[in-house]
Structure 1
Amino acid sequence: MVSKIAALALMAALGMATPSAAGDEKAPAPGSNPIFRDRFTADPAPLVVGDRLFLYVGHDEAQRDEMFNMREWLVYSTTDMKTWTAYPPIMKATDFKWAKKDAWASQAIEKNGKFYFYAAVEHDNTHPGKAIGVAVSDSPTGPFVDARGSALITNEMTPKGPHSWEDIDPTVFTDDDGTTWIAWGNRSCYIAKLKPNMIEIDGPITEITPPHFEEGPWLHKRDGTYYLTYASLDRSTQRDEHVSYATAPAITGPWTPRGLLTGSGKYSFTIHPGIVQFKGEWYIFLHNATLAVGDQSGAIGRRAVTVERLRYGPDGAMLPVVQTEAGVSVPTR
C-alpha cells in the first residue's frame, strides 16, 4: 500500500488538491466552493420550499481505486446560500427493496403537499440494469419511502440504448398548467408525462436527445422558454464532460441546441447541472473533484458539489458560466 506521504507527493506532482498541514489553511469563506467539505458529494439537485433552498446530493464513498461507491442520498438546506444545515441521510438505495445498489443521481419535487424523490439505482436481476424509482415523504428532509413498491422506469422500457445504464439521472419539472414531466437518460435523452399521482408514466416515452448528450439532464423554465441543460461530451475533442443546453417553445420541443454553458469540473470526468431561482437570483449547482477529506483526495468517485450564479442575456440565452473557488462568497457584480 502506498504511504500517505508518497500519495500526497504524487497528488502534488499531478496538480491535485491536497489537504494542508494544520494551521496552514484559513477557514473557507462562506459560500465558496466546494460547498460541503466534510464528505464527498455529487449530482446536486436543488429545490426551493418557501424561503429555504434544499439541495439533494449523492454521497460518494469510493475508497482507494474504486470508481463509484454510492449507497445513500443526503440533503442540506440554506436560507442565504452561505451557511448550510445538514440532515440525516434521507434514503438508501436498498430502501427500494427491488434495488440492489447504487444511489445515483436524483431530484425531489413538491406536489400536492408531498415531496416526491426520483432516483437512479441498480435493479435486481428481475429487471437487469439501471432503473428509476420514486419515493415520497411529507417533509423535504425525509425520510422517504418507496411510493410504488416497484421501479417507475426500467431498462427494457427504453430498448434503443446499447448499454444497461441508459435509464439514469431523472429530472422532474411541473409546468404552469400543473402537469409534471420527467426526463432522463445516458447517451439518449427521454421525456414522459407523469400522471397526477406522480408515480406512473402517463402516455408515451419520447426521445429528445440533443447534440453530444451524455447524461444528467435538467429541466427548467424562464420567461416562457423551456431549458434542457445536460452533461455533454464531444468524444472527438473532449476528454471530460462539459455542460451544454438546448431551448424550446414547449416542453415537447422542438429543442434547439444552444452550445456550451460551462466546461468540465476540475479533476472530474463527470459533471451534473442543477438549476434553480432562489430569492430573485438564478444559481447553477455542479460538481468537481477538488476536495480532499483526510487522506482521501478527489477522484472520479469522490466528487464535491459547487455553486455559481447563473445569468441570462436579453435574448434569454444563458451566459457562459465560469467555475470558481469563490463561488457565491463574493458579492454580485
Structure 2
Amino acid sequence: MKIRFFLAVIVFSIIYGVKAQNPIIKNLFTADPAPMVYNNTVYLYVGHDTAAVDAKTYQMPDWLVYSTTDMVHWKSHGSCLSTKDFKWASYAANAAQCIERNGKFYWYVSIIHKADENSKGGVAIGVAVADSPTGPFKDALGKALITNDMTTDMKHAWDDLDPTVFIDDNRQAYLFWGNGSCKWAKLKENMIELDGSIHTFKPQNFTEAPWVYKRKGLYYLVYAANFPETIEYCTAEKIEGPWIYRGLIQDRVSNSTTTHPGIIDYKGKTYFFYHNGVLPTGGNYRRSVCVDYLHYNADGTIQKIIQTTDGVKAVK
C-alpha cells in the first residue's frame, strides 16, 4: 500500500505540479526579502522579526538565509549575519542585499551606528563579505561604508536605510538606498569603497526600499511608496536618470504598513518577493516573506502584482 501511495503522489505531482504556499517561510517571522540567483540556485536573504505579539517597535537581531532550486521547497541556512558582527554597530538588522562578484559575496546591510568618533549615530550602511553565499560572513571594512553624517539632504536619522546593489553590463557597480529620498553612488571594483560622490533624488511617492535592475536595455527602480506602503516604480534609459514614473504595481499588503520588493528571473520566469503580516499573531513588527509572479507588458511596463497569500497557491 505504501508503494502505491508514493507512486500516486509522484504521478499527481508530475501531472498537476507541486505548488508553494504563501507565506513561503512559516516557522519564523521574516521581512525585507532580497533574492539572489547563483549557480542555478535562488538564495533568499531576509530580516528576522523577533518582536513580541504586543510590541510597538521592531526587534531584528540578525539576518537569515534560505535557498531553493524549485521555488517550492526552501532550505534554511539559519542566521548567517548578526548586528554583533559589526563592532561599530548598535542594533537593528534592517533591510539588506547580497550580491556576488569575482567569486566573493558582498552583503550590504542597514543598521544603527553607535554614537562615536566616526558617527553621531543613526542608520548606517555596512558591508560583509564571504567566499560562499551562506558564509561565514565578516565585516569587510571594520567600519561603516556610509554613515548618516555623509547624507544631509534629509534631516532624520534613518534616511540611509535599505541598500540595494546592481552591477551593470560594463561591470560598473552601483549602490542605491534611502528613506525619504533615494540616494545612489558608484562602487569601486573592490565593492567596499565608493567611487565618487553621493547623488540624491526623489522619485514620485518614494518612501524607501529601492530595488534596481535592468531588462532589455531599460533600467527599473522599484520601491516602497507612500505610507502605509504600496510598491511603485520608475524606468530610465540611463542608470543616472532621468527616472520616469510608471505607476503602482502592488497594492497595500495584508496586516502590515510596510512592504519591501525583491525581483529575480529564474528558470524562465520572473518572481516578485515582498512581505506582509498574515501569519497567525503577525503584524507590523512580525512580518512574513511571500513571492508571486511578475509579468511585463509588451512595452516593458510592469503588470499589477496579484497577491496570493493566506494559503492561496502562489508559485509553481
Which TM-score applies when normalising by structure 2?
Answer: 0.91
Which of 103, 119, 127 lines up with 2:109 in the alignment?
119
Written as runs of structure 1 = structure 2, the 5 A alignment for 1:290-309 is 290-292=278-280, 297-309=281-293
Task: Give the corresponding residue for 2:198.
Answer: 205
User: Counterparts of 1:229 and 1:54 in 2: how far apart (Å)?
Assistant: 20
Deviation at 1:328, TM superposition (A): 2.9
Does residue 162 of structure 2 align to residue 178 of structure 1?
Answer: no
User: Counterparts of 1:188 and 1:327 in 2: how far apart (Å)?
Assistant: 36
Task: Give the corresponding residue for 1:46.
Answer: 35
CA contact (8 A) 1:220 1:228 kept: yes
Task: Give the corresponding residue for 1:166.
Answer: 159
Root mean square deviation of aligned Cα: 1.0
User: Counterparts of 1:283 and 1:91 in 2: how far apart (Å)?
Assistant: 25
Task: Give the corresponding residue for 1:313.
Answer: 297
Deviation at 1:30, TM superposition (A): 4.3
Task: Give the corresponding residue for 2:275.
Answer: 287
Task: Give the corresponding residue for 1:37.
Answer: 26
CA displacement, residues 52-80 of structure 1 (integer Å, 9 cap, x when unaligned): 00000000000122320000000000001
User: Counterparts of 1:104 and 1:185 in 2: how far apart (Å)?
Assistant: 12
CA contact (8 A) 1:81 1:328 kept: no
User: Counterparts of 1:216 and 1:191 in 2: how far apart (Å)?
Assistant: 13
One-letter code aligned to 2:111 = V
One-letter code aligned to 1:100 = S
Does residue 203 of structure 2 align to residue 217 of structure 1?
Answer: no
Q: Secondary structure at the match of 1:300?
A: coil
Does residue 86 of structure 2 align to residue 96 of structure 1?
Answer: yes
Deviation at 1:322, TM superposition (A): 1.5
Task: Give the corresponding residue for 1:58.
Answer: 47
Q: State percent identity of aligned pairs.
A: 49
Q: Secondary structure at the match of 1:94?
A: helix
CA displacement, residues 57-111 of structure 1 (integer Å, 9 cap, x when unaligned): 0000001223200000000000010101001211101211000100000000000
One-letter code aligned to 1:240 = P
User: Counterparts of 1:30 and 1:150 in 2: how far apart (Å)?
Assistant: 43
Task: Give the corresponding residue for 2:144.
Answer: 151
One-letter code aligned to 2:106 = Y
User: Counterparts of 1:267 and 1:89 in 2: how far apart (Å)?
Assistant: 25
Does residue 216 of structure 2 align to residue 226 of structure 1?
Answer: no
Q: Secondary structure at the match of 1:110?
A: strand
Task: Give the corresponding residue for 2:70.
Answer: 80
One-letter code aligned to 1:276 = I
Q: Secondary structure at the match of 1:91?
A: strand
- Alignment length, in residue pairs? 293
One-letter code aligned to 2:182 = C
CA contact (8 A) 1:308 1:327 kept: no
Task: Give the corresponding residue for 1:262.
Answer: 250
Deviation at 1:327, TM superposition (A): 5.0
User: Counterparts of 1:66 and 1:88 in 2: how far apart (Å)?
Assistant: 26
Deviation at 1:265, TM superposition (A): 1.3
Task: Give the corresponding residue for 2:7.
Answer: none
User: Counterparts of 2:78 and 2:49 in 1: how far apart (Å)?
Assistant: 15
User: Which runs of no fewer than 5 residues in structure 2 stay unpaired?
Assistant: 1-17
User: Counterparts of 1:100 and 1:152 in 2: how far apart (Å)?
Assistant: 15
Which TM-score applies when normalising by structure 1?
Answer: 0.86
Deviation at 1:280, TM superposition (A): 1.1
Does residue 124 of structure 2 align to residue 131 of structure 1?
Answer: yes
User: Counterparts of 2:112 and 2:127 in 1: how far apart (Å)?
Assistant: 14
- Structure 1 window deviating more from structure 2 (57-66 vs 251-260): it is 57-66
Q: Secondary structure at the match of 2:79?
A: coil
Q: Secondary structure at the match of 1:156?
A: helix
Task: Give the corresponding residue for 1:247.
Answer: 235
Q: Secondary structure at the match of 1:45?
A: strand
User: Residues 30 and 93 of structure 1: is their aligned pair in 2 closer, same or farther, counting only changes over 3 Å?
Assistant: farther
User: Residues 137 and 327 of structure 1: is their aligned pair in 2 closer, same or farther, counting only changes over 3 Å?
Assistant: farther
User: Counterparts of 2:28 and 2:63 in 1: how far apart (Å)?
Assistant: 12
Does residue 314 of structure 2 align to residue 328 of structure 1?
Answer: yes
User: Counterparts of 1:88 and 1:302 in 2: how far apart (Å)?
Assistant: 18
CA contact (8 A) 2:145 2:193 kept: yes
